[in-house]
Amino acid sequence: METFDFTGKTIAITGATGGIANALLHAAAAESVTLVLHGRDRLEVATLASELERDGAQTHMVLGDLANEAEGIADEIATIAEIDILVNNAGVYTAGDILSTDLETVRRDIEINALAALATIQAVLPGMNRRGWGRIVSVSSGGGSMGEGLAPGHAAYAISKATLNAITLLAANAATGGVKANAMCPGWVRTRMGGSGAPRSPEEGADTALWLASLGADGPNGGFFRDRKPIPW
C-alpha cells in the first residue's frame, strides 16, 4: 500500500467518522501529525481519536451539526491550530427527483454538503495564503458533475455537490503561492452512505483524497478528479 508523508502537518477533516474519512485518517496518522476531527457524535469521534493517537498522531475534537452550526465549527477548527490540509468530507445523500424533492430538503443538503465547506474554506484559506502553503480537498461526487449528467434520482444531492464544485473552483482561484484547492469523486464506496453493496472499499475511495492532500508544488490546482484522473465539472 502506498504511504503518504504528512510529517509536521495539521490536517482538519469534517465528517471524520465516515468510512472514507476513517480510511484517510488512518493512512495519515503518524508521529508529528496533528489531526483535527469534526463529527456530531462525541463517542464516535472520541473512539476514532483514541485509535489515531495509538498510531502516534495528536488529535483535537470539534463537535457539532454542520446543518446549523457550520460557521461556529469552522471558526473552532481555525482557532485550534494553523491548518495545513483541509478535507471537506461531511455529507448527506438524500434520495428524490427534482419534482418530488421539497425545498427544505434541498436547503439542508446544500447547508451540509456545500455551505459548511464554504465556511471552513473561509476560515482556513486566508491563513494558508499568508503562510504560502496549503491543501484543500473537497469530497464531491460525479453526481454533482454537469459533465457526467448529475444524479437524477438524488436532486438535492446533485444540486449541493454541484454547488460544492463551484465553491472549490472559486477557492482555487483565491489560492495564492503554494496553496491548492481541488475536488474529487471517491466513487461508490462501502460506507454507511454508500451501503454494503458498493463495489469500492473505503481505502479505494480515500486514495484520491490522500493524493490531493499530499500534492507537490507542481500538482494541480482547481481540478476535479476520480482515481487521480481529471473528470468534467
93 is catalytic: no
Q: List CB contacts of 36: < 8 A, sequence separation 6 or more.
A: 10, 11, 12, 13, 59, 60, 62, 77, 80, 81, 83
CA distance 83 to 59: 13
C-alpha to C-alpha distance for 127 and 141, rounded to whole angstroms:
27
Which residue among the candidates 6, 93, 157, 225 is catalytic per the annotation?
Answer: 157
Q: What does each C-alpha distance from 8 to 50, 57, 88, 101, 228 come to in angstroms?
A: 19, 10, 20, 45, 24
Task: Indicate which residues carry an active-site annotation.
Answer: 157
